Amino acid sequence: MKISIITVVFNNFSQIKKTIDSVINQTYNNIEYIVIDGGSTDGSKELIEQYDSHIDCFISEKDNGIYHAMNKGWMNATGEYCLFLNSGDYLYNHDVIAEVVIKMEKSNFDIYFGNLFAFDEKQSWISKFEEPISLYYFQHSFIPHPATFTKRVLLEKLGGFYEHYRIISDWAFFVNCFLSKASFKQIDVTVTSFYMKGSSSSSIISLKDRNELFSNEFKFLEEDFKNFDRLRHFDTSRITKTARKISNWKIRNFK
C-alpha cells in the first residue's frame, strides 16, 4: 500500500528539517513524499532542495494559502491514502507509518484517524479522537488532519479543501465526507507530534469561521447544527428530519 505524505511549507526554515527527517527516516518504505512550498524566501526552499533524492515531488511557487497548497499536494499524489503533515509537525516515531498500515490492511475504510501528541511551551498531552462520527460529533470536535489518512479517490470525488477559509477548511472537508457517507475508522496509534502554536486565538477564530462556514456552505443544516445538543435529547422528530436532509443531499464539488 502506497502512502502519500504531503508537507506544506512557507518561510519556516527553523521547523521544516525535523518534519522532513521524520518522513524520510520511516521504516515503512512505500511512501511517496510531496512537498509544496509557497515561494519561501527565508532559506526553506534551499534546505528542502538538499533532500532532493528523498522527495518525489517538490513544487515551490506562490500560492493562495495553506489549503490551496494542500490541494496542489493531493492533486500530485499517486498513493492510495494521503496524510497531510505540514511544516513544524512531525511523525511520532520511525515506525508509525508501518504500524498504521498494518491496521489499515485489515479493513477498508475511506478515512483512518489516529492520535496526536500535542504540546506547547508549558505542557504536552496525547489527544485521542473517538468514534462514532456524527453531525453531533462535529459540533463539539474535529478530525485531526495531521493524524488522518484519507483515500485519494475521496479527495478527488469531493474536490479537496475549500480555499477561501483560513483555518477551518479541513474540518469542513471531513463534514462533507460524513455527509457523503464516507466511512471513518479510529485507530489507537499516536501518529503525529503537533505544536499547538497560538491555540487560544486560533480556537476563537475557528469557532467564528465554523459558524460562518455553516451559514455559507451548509445553510440547510445550520439550524439543526446549532441546536443539535437539544435535539439529541428531546426532539426525535427533528433529528429524523435532519437525517432525511442529509440522506437526500447531493454533494457538490468544492470548486
Among the residue ranges 87-96, 112-121, 203-212, the one predicted with the least confidence is 203-212
Report CA-CA distances (Å) from 78 to 57, 110, 197.
11, 16, 31
pLDDT of residue 233: 42
pLDDT of residue 246: 47
Q: Please give the mean pLDDT across all residues of the chain.
A: 84
Residue 192 lies in a domain: yes
- Assess whether the previous peptide bond of 132 is cis (omega < 30° from 0): yes
Q: Which residues contact 41 (CB under 8 A, 6 or more apart)?
A: 11
Query: Do the Cβ atoms of 52 and 141 come closer than 8 Å?
Result: no
Residue 102 lies in a domain: yes
* Rounded distance between C-alpha atoms, residue 230 and residue 224, angstroms: 9
Work out how many domains the chain is built from and give that number. Answer: 1
CATH of the domain at 54: 3.90.550.10
Residue 240 lies in a domain: no
* Rounded distance between C-alpha atoms, residue 80 and residue 117, angstroms: 25
Residue 220 lies in a domain: no
Residue 169 lies in a domain: yes
pTM of the model: 0.84
Residue 79 lies in a domain: yes
Residue 196 lies in a domain: yes
Nine-digit cell string for 56: 518525489
Q: Which residues contact 77 (CB under 8 A, 6 or more apart)?
A: 4, 6, 32, 34, 152
State the DSSP H helix or E strand holding residue 83, giving kind and residue range, or none if neither: strand 81-84
Query: Do the Cβ atoms of 25 and 53 come closer than 8 Å?
Result: no
**Banded pLDDT at 140 (limits 50, 70, 90):** confident
Residue 221 lies in a domain: no
* Residue 15 belongs to domain spanning: 3-200
pLDDT of residue 234: 40
The count of residues in the chain is: 255
Most confident of 43-52, 194-203, 211-220, 235-244: 43-52
